[in-house]
């Protein structure tokens, strides 16, 4: 698969803070929906900000569409779209204002597509965005993101605070976006439904470091969860263990299916989150 985004050994420290992004590497390839998963403060949003250029990186390399990013190379920005969890438009803007401004900003802006999205999402044309609800705010942000023919869509908690109907509507449009296998999505979300439905690959992050990367299909089909005591845990084949967590002498283990009997199937990312993020990854 062709890489749309390559992050290689990315490092970043911050003044007056002990938090850092430490040696992070991953790729987002055509046709993928890659989810960054971690607790609040784990570094997901910071990593997104580094990727989109809001913060300078200390060390490492970023590539978009096979080209290394530097301060003189900005053409790649026409092919990426970013949606954060807060409104990024001036509050006095209307739908028509956004169209006018973005038509000037992006060489591949498609006004026809934008207004089609406005109809799909049933958004008011003349109302200022400061009067939009949370759901309307995210819908217009996504409408704009989908209207300049981007190849990579980056979403940072874009469905947070939405009602179930609005979230389902946005899920459908994101699924359509990657049906064109030349496109991909990188997303963060603390909502299990988003990840269970959309993600094809999972990247677990803790304290600014990548703990584990795995295809969701492989996780669900090839691994299960075993509950056991310390004695049984000591007999397990360590090569079969993906991650484990111990509490009061009892172990929860993500282990390859077939290694033992009495292994529970994994049906939701939530079931493995606490084991991976609060335990030990192999």
Pairing of strands 33-37, 201-206: parallel
Is pLDDT larger for residue 72 or for residue 41?
A: 41
For residue 87, pLDDT over 80 is answered with no
For residue 143, pLDDT over 70 is answered with yes
Mean pLDDT, residues 5-18? 94
Q: How confident is the model at residue 259 (pLDDT cuts 50, 70, 90)?
A: low
Is pLDDT larger for residue 61 or for residue 134?
A: 61
For the chain, which domains are there?
Answer: 3-207 (3.40.50.300), 217-281 (no CATH)
Interacting residues of 229 by C-beta distance below 8 A, sequence separation 6+: 249, 250, 251
User: Do 3 and 29 contact (CB within 8 A), yes or no?
Assistant: yes
DSSP string, 180-200: STT-EEEEE-S-HHHHHHH-S
Mean pLDDT, residues 21-46? 95
SS3 14: coil
Nearest to 137 by CA among 87, 100, 83, 99: 87
For residue 111, pLDDT over 90 is answered with yes
Mean pLDDT, residues 195-213? 96
Is pLDDT larger for residue 149 or for residue 196?
A: 196
Q: How far is CA 153 from the centre of its chain?
A: 9
Q: How far apart are CA 171 and CA 29, in angstroms?
A: 20
Interacting residues of 28 by C-beta distance below 8 A, sequence separation 6+: 3, 4, 5, 34, 152, 184, 185, 186
């Amino acid at each position: 698969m062709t890489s749309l985004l390559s992050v290689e050994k990315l490092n970043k420290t911050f003044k007056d803070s002990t938090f850092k992004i430490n040696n992070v590497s991953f790729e987002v390839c055509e046709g993928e929906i890659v989810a960054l998963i971690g607790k609040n403060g784990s570094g997901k949003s910071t990593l997104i900000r580094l990727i989109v250029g809001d913060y300078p990186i200390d060390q490492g390399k970023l590539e978009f569409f096979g080209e290394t990013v530097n301060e003189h190379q900005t053409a790649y920005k026409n092919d990426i779209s970013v949606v954060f969890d807060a409104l990024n438009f001036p509050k006095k803007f209307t739908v028509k204002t956004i169209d006018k401004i973005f038509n000037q900003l992006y060489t591949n802006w498609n006004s026809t597509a934008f207004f089609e999205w406005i109809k799909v999402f049933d958004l008011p044309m003349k109302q200022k965005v400061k009067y939009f609800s949370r759901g309307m705010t995210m819908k217009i942000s996504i409408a704009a993101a989908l209207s300049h023919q981007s190849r990579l869509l980056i979403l940072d908690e874009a469905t947070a605070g939405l009602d179930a109907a609005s979230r389902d509507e946005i899920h459908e449009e994101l699924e359509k976006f990657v049906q064109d296998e030349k496109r991909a999505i990188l997303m963060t979300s603390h909502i299990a439904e988003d990840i269970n439905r959309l993600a094809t690959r999972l990247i677990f992050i803790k304290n600014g470091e990548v703990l584990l990367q795995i295809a969701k299909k492989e996780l669900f089909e090839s691994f299960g969860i075993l509950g056991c005591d310390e004695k049984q845990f000591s007999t397990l084949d360590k090569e079969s263990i993906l991650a484990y967590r111990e509490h009061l002498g009892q172990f929860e283990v993500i282990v390859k299916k077939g290694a033992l009997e009495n292994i529970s199937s994994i049906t939701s990312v939530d079931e493995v989150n606490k084991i991976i993020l609060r335990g030990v990854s192999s």
